[in-house]
């Protein structure tokens, strides 16, 4: 069973999947970057802000729910969502100042939506992404449609393909490599970073 986090890391870089899931090389403790800082932010938010519900939403708040999908062979944790009478709305917090939704967040929300729909039997049509850092806060409403879900499923398939075929995928050097935990052993990262 593949985790949502594994798929998000594959969006970050497909070689990440290869080193972690095929070679079985553990991520170093000092790993930095958006994935880990985001997790820390989740943990703080879960303890301090569990009652937050976006304006104009009425429903039951659910936090830290772990879900499985037999259909997609997938497991993931939804940190926060609101279950209304006719839909489920995802709340995703990011420890960042950015104002737009990156691919990794699109895939994360798409996969979480599929897990929620399968487990709760209600549609997920929207999500709120809350960017917060250094007293800056920006809340973005995101439409969750079939295009988003199809893209998330394509990334899930790509991740499974790397794991099942064990063929090392291609990638190229860019700013991601600077803080990547695999940079010292990666054929791309090791040639370009110290
Ligand atoms: S060093 Fe760069 S290419 Fe290598 S796994 Fe990390 S992000 Fe990917």
Dump pLDDT digits (tens) for 116-133: 999 999 999 999 999 988
Identify the pLDDT of residue 187.
93
Of the candidate CATH numbers 3.55.40.20, 3.40.50.1820, 2.60.130.10, 3.90.320.10, the domain formed by 2-192 belongs to 3.90.320.10
Q: Take residue 141 and report the two structure tokens written for it.
A: 């409403």
CA distance 144 to 89: 9
- pLDDT at 54 exceeding the cut of 60: yes
Which pTM does this prediction carry?
0.88
Pocket test for ligand 1, best of 19, 21, 170, 189 (most atoms within 8 A of CB): 189
- pLDDT at 107 exceeding the cut of 90: yes
Contact by Cβ (8 Å): 163, 2: yes
In percent, the amount of the chain with pLDDT more than 90 equals: 73
As a whole number, mean pLDDT of residues 49-60 equals: 80
Identify the pLDDT of residue 56.
82
* Atom 2 in ligand 1: residue holding the nearest Cα: 177
Dump pLDDT digits (tens) for 1-32: 999 999 999 999 999 999 999 999 988 755 44
Sorted by where each begins, the domain ranges of the chain are: 2-192
φ and ψ at residue 33, rounded to 5 degrees: 115, 180
CA of residue 187 to ligand 1 center, whole Å: 8
CA of 187: how far to CAs of 34, 84, 172, 173, in Å? 22, 48, 10, 10
As a whole number, mean pLDDT of residues 49-77 equals: 89
- pLDDT at 46 exceeding the cut of 50: no
Q: What is the mean pLDDT of the chain?
A: 89
Tell me, using a 6 A CB cutoff, whether residue 162 lines ligand 1. Answer: no
What is the H or E stretch that residue 190 is in? Answer: helix 189-192
Identify the pLDDT of residue 100.
85
- Sole residue written with tokens 């969750």: 144
Tell me the sheet residues that pair with 62.
Answer: 81
Of 10, 19, 21, the closest CA to residue 155 belongs to 10
Identify the pLDDT of residue 33.
46
């Amino acid at each position: 069973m593949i985790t949502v986090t594994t798929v998000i890391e594959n969006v970050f870089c497909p070689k990440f999947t290869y080193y972690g899931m095929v070679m079985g090389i553990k991520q170093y403790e000092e790993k930095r970057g958006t994935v880990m800082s985001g997790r820390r932010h989740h943990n703080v938010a879960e303890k301090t802000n569990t009652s937050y519900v976006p304006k104009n939403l009425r429903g039951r708040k659910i936090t830290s729910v772990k879900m499985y999908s037999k259909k997609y062979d997938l497991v993931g944790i939804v940190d926060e969502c609101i279950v209304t009478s006719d839909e489920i709305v995802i709340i995703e917090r990011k420890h960042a100042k950015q104002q737009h939704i990156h691919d990794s967040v699109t895939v994360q929300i798409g996969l979480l939506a599929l897990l929620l729909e399968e487990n709760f039997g209600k549609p997920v049509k929207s999500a709120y992404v809350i960017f917060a850092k250094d007293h800056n806060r920006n809340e973005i409403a995101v439409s969750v449609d079939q295009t988003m879900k199809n893209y998330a499923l394509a990334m899930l398939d790509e991740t499974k393909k790397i794991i099942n075929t064990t063929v090392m995928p291609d990638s190229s050097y860019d700013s991601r490599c600077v803080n990547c935990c695999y940079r010292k052993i990666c054929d791309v990262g090791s040639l370009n970073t110290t």
